[in-house]
Structure formats: structure tokens, C-alpha cells
């Protein structure tokens, strides 16, 4: 989830749906919000052991999504799948409620998958409109079933 400051107010972006309704803040409140936003972002990066470098990569918080990495975590183009529902072979074959991208690798990133105690942050290239994101998933919803990974690779890899 991230904020975008616009002339008429703030737009809170969560996933793919913008949420409006915040009044246009005063200059003092704007600075306070901006400072808080970047302070929190720094805390998130510290939690994962990530130190920003050359390129800014936006955060996309998906704590309620089931997810899986279908291959090596240190390889470009490894598929990453995520869904609001648990994975099943039928769901993968039909492509319903199933999203995916590939691990986004760049020389300015020391690694592409950042595992922490409760969450994992994955650099993902969505292959849509040039979007690369750090998606944050709950470790408790990671699918480690090799059969689901094989099914995904068979149909979408």
C-alpha cells in the first residue's frame, strides 16, 4: 500500500484499487505525512535487511495472498505466483484468481528475495506496464508444495 500526493489531496493505493476520500491536507500536515511515510518505509526496509540503492522500487503489501516461488530464488525469470485463495491444480489450470510475475533481478539489488521472521519481500516484475514491485507476503501463506509449483510451471511457465 502506498500514498500518492496529488493537487486535490492524497490517493491511497492498495493493490490495484485506488481509495479516495482523504481531504486535501494543509502544508504542515503534508510534510508530516510525507516524513512519516518515508520513516515507515525505512523501517520496512530495515526489517527485511534491504538497503535502497540506485532505483526506487515501490512496495506492494499482500499479507492475505497465498504465494509461491516456482524455482531458484536467485535466478532471473523464476516465476512467482500469488492468489487470494489457496492453490489447487484446477485453479492453476483455469487461471482463475491467479496472478504472477517473475523475480526481478538487477545488479543494484544485492538479492531478490528477502526473508524475515513473519514476512517475505520479493522483487517482482509484473510484465505489465513496466511495473517492478517489492511484494510483501505473509510467510504463513507460502505454498511449498512441489506439485503446485510443477502444475504452475507446466501451465504458465
% of the chain surpassing 70 pLDDT: 82
Q: What is the pLDDT of residue 129?
A: 87
pTM: 0.78
The least confident of 1-10, 58-67, 95-104 is 1-10
Q: What is the pLDDT of residue 7?
A: 45
Coil, helix or strand for 46? helix
| 153 within 8 A of 145, measured Cβ to Cβ | no
Cα 69 from Cα 71, distance rounded (Å): 6
Taking alpha carbons only, the member of 53, 54, 52, 33 closest to residue 43 is 52
Of the two residues 122 and 4, the one the predictor is more confident about is 122
Q: What is the pLDDT of residue 127?
A: 87
Residue 16 pLDDT greater than 50, yes or no: no
Q: Which helix (H) or strand (E) holds 154?
A: helix 146-156
Q: Which helix (H) or strand (E) holds 79?
A: strand 79-83
Amino acid at each position: 500500500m502506498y500514498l500518492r500526493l496529488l493537487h486535490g489531496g492524497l490517493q491511497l493505493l492498495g493493490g490495484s484499487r485506488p481509495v479516495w476520500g482523504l481531504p486535501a491536507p494543509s502544508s504542515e500536515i503534508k510534510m508530516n505525512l510525507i516524513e512519516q511515510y518515508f520513516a515507515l518505509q525505512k523501517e520496512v526496509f530495515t526489517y527485511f535487511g534491504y538497503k535502497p540503492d540506485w532505483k526506487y522500487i515501490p512496495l506492494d503489501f499482500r499479507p492475505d495472498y497465498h504465494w509461491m516461488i516456482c524455482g531458484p530464488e536467485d535466478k532471473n525469470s523464476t516465476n512467482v505466483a500469488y492468489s487470494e485463495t489457496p492453490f489447487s491444480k484446477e485453479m492453476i489450470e483455469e487461471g482463475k484468481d491467479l496472478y504472477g510475475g517473475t523475480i526481478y533481478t538487477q545488479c543494484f539489488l544485492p538479492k531478490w528475495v528477502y526473508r524475515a521472521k513473519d514476512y517475505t519481500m520479493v522483487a517482482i516484475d509484473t510484465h505489465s506496464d513496466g511495473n517492478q514491485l517489492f511484494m510483501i507476503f505473509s510467510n504463513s501463506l507460502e505454498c511449498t508444495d512441489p506439485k503446485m509449483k510443477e502444475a504452475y510451471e507446466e501451465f504458465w511457465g
